[in-house]
Chain A
Amino acid sequence: MDTMFAETPLVRVKRRRESLARGVFFCMSVAMILPLVAIVTYLVVKAWPTLSWNFLVDIPREGMREGGIWPALVGTIYLVFISLAVAAPLGILAAIYLSEYARDNWFNRIINLAVINLAGVPSIVHALFGLGAFVYAAKFGYSIISASLTLAIMTLPVIIASTREALASVPQSFREACWNVGATRWQTIRSIVLPNSVSGILTGVILQVSRAAGETAPIMFTGAVFYKAVERGTLLPYYLDEQCMALSMHLYTISTQVPGVEESLPYATAVVLLGAVLLVNASAIALRVVLRSRKKW
């Protein structure tokens, strides 16, 4: 019986199909990476003539046709920082309530539903809301405050969702252990749940940096301007009730609104925006890795 275990024609067909399927899936995953690599390479090559330290710290000159991006860079940092300083505590506290305290009743179900739906609202709608709520109703005017709060409202539901996910990843049995020695919910959260979910919570918050930094519509409606004269390299050029420049907005402006801009300028701006976002995301991943390696259960 030397044909024992030999391949039958049917098996051969199956095997061919298997390797075909494998090949297709592999190509697809490569196809996913290619555009990213292509975009980054293209941007960097195009931006190369302009990229320099001077480009970062100089102000736009000659009607934004030359010079650097300092005011926009600082403006973006302002907006992102303030919006997260508002959204992170609110979102984390709300998430803790929803995950650890709220009972399963109609009221909390509605809150839950609201949070999920809010995360899907297009940013242009947030922009309009921010305009109505912060610029006009709250009388903050077109300002960094209005723009930051608008961004905060936009990132809030996502922070709530990611925080809840992080909290849910802490095994229920830890909570049971605490409850059964008489710990209150708050003691349980503080001593066990938070220390074991902090990496997930922080990662979720940090990932929102890139979202807040990249949005244009919400800040354009509420507090970002085309041009604002500041001094080259100053660290704190803006007051909070002023308008400011921002990278995303600046990119839009010099790409579409100003004729005769040096070609590499918008690309360099895009590279800075992309670089900043990648840097922040990488730090989120690094943080996660470090904190993860410390916990084991």
Chain B
Amino acid sequence: MSPNTPYCIATKELSLWYGRFQALIGVSVEIKHGLITALIGPSGCGKTTLLRCFNRVNERYGNVTTTGEIRVLGKNIYDPDVSLIELRKAVGMVFQRPNPLPISVYENVVFGLRIHSPARSLTRSALDEAVERALTEVGLWEDLKDRLHRKGTALQLEQQQKLCIARLLPLKPRLILMDEPCSSLDVEGTRAIEELMFALKGQYTIVIVTHNMAQARRASDECLFMLMGELIEHRRTEDLFLTPQDHRTAEYIEGRYG
């Protein structure tokens, strides 16, 4: 995987079927390194589905057929030598409803390390350090350093969502996919997560699905608009919102549907 490829994710003619229902139709998209790319579109247009393609986790959701090509960091992820485990370590996902695991904050953060390394190779100090680094990076360390052994599920929603992001970091992901990460948070929480995204940007490539047009506008560098499984438009965020090229994009951002 060479970091010198121009795009972090590049798909060609990507189509996907759930059983006989086609959820993605010939999506070709290129997502640049280190930027925040927003993915917008009405409900059911395939945003989540597209996101799940990038770490092939769709395959865990039943009867899925995919055609076309997906390159992540230049590597075709359908090549036979691709390990799904390594792929998913590099491409982390954050969900709409924060889903910390029902274990302690500490264990949530080191969960990835634990499942990917033999038990003996993990020293206490290495784990402690990983926890401190990850929680510091998402801005939870000060709040939680004395409460690391509380259950992750007992935190406030905003903290839970940050914890879900922190959980990815010890695995050193290259890409963070966020599926409507703020939709169950209040205004404060939303702002906190957006600030966190800005802080993480550059170091990680971020793709964020959002229903909130204002959020896409203020928080993203580039923007993708999808409709009924097709990619309609992909441009710099300002351009997409100021001068949409496709009439369907214009209608959507004016709020005519969705």
Contacts and interface: CB of A to CB of B under 8 A. Distances in A.
A268 to B, nearest CB: 47
Interface string A140-183: 00000000000000000000000000000001011111111111
A103 to B, nearest CB: 7
A175 B99 CA distance: 9
A12 interface: no
A162 to B, nearest CB: 21
B149 interface: no
Interface residues of A, number: 22
Interface in B126-162: 151, 153-154
Interface in B57-105: 57, 60, 62-63, 84-89, 92-93, 95, 97, 99-103
Contacts of B92: 180-181
Contacts of B97: 173
Nearest to A182: B88
B100 A181 contact: no
Interface string A274-297: 000000000000000000000111
Nearest to B154: A296
A60 to B, nearest CB: 52
Interface stretch (A19-27, A184-192, A231-239, A247-255): A184-192
Given A104-B63, A295-B102, A296-B154, A177 B164 contact: yes
Nearest to B87: A182
A176 B63 contact: no
Contacts of B168: 181
Contact of A104 (B62, B99, B164): B62
A171 to B, nearest CB: 8
A192 B63 CA distance: 24
A208 interface: no
Per DSSP, chain A at the interface is loop
Interface string B105-130: 00000011011100000000000000
A179 B57 CA distance: 7
A112 to B, nearest CB: 15
Contacts of B116: 182
Nearest to A295: B102
A183 B36 CA distance: 26
B151 A173 contact: no
Contacts of B89: 181-182
A72 to B, nearest CB: 45
A182 B171 contact: yes
B167 interface: yes
Interface in B167-186: 167-168, 171
A175 B153 CA distance: 15
Given A173-B97, A181-B112, A182-B116, A297 B102 contact: yes
B115 A182 contact: yes
A109 to B, nearest CB: 12
Contact of A296 (B114, B115, B153): B153
- Taking residues whose C-beta sits less than 8 angstroms from the other chain, chain B's interface range is 20 to 34
Contacts of A176: 57, 93, 95, 99
Contact of B171 (A171, A181, A191): A181
Contacts of B151: 296-297
B55 interface: yes
A40 to B, nearest CB: 40
B99 A103 contact: no
Contacts of A192: 101-103
Given A104-B63, A191-B115, A184 B99 contact: no
A203 interface: no
B99 A177 contact: yes
Nearest to B63: A104
B60 A183 contact: no
Contacts of B99: 171, 173-174, 176-177
A269 interface: no
B62 A182 contact: no
B52 to A, nearest CB: 9
B132 to A, nearest CB: 19
Given A176-B95, A177-B164, A296-B151, A183 B102 contact: no
A191 B101 CA distance: 10
A223 B101 CA distance: 48
Given A181-B111, A192-B102, A297-B151, 11 more contacts: A104-B62, A174-B101, A176-B95, A176-B99, A181-B112, A182-B85, A182-B116, A196-B102, A295-B102, A296-B154, A297-B153
18 contacts: A104-B62, A104-B63, A173-B95, A176-B95, A177-B164, A177-B167, A178-B115, A180-B88, A181-B89, A181-B171, A182-B88, A182-B89, A182-B112, A184-B115, A192-B101, A192-B103, A295-B102, A297-B102
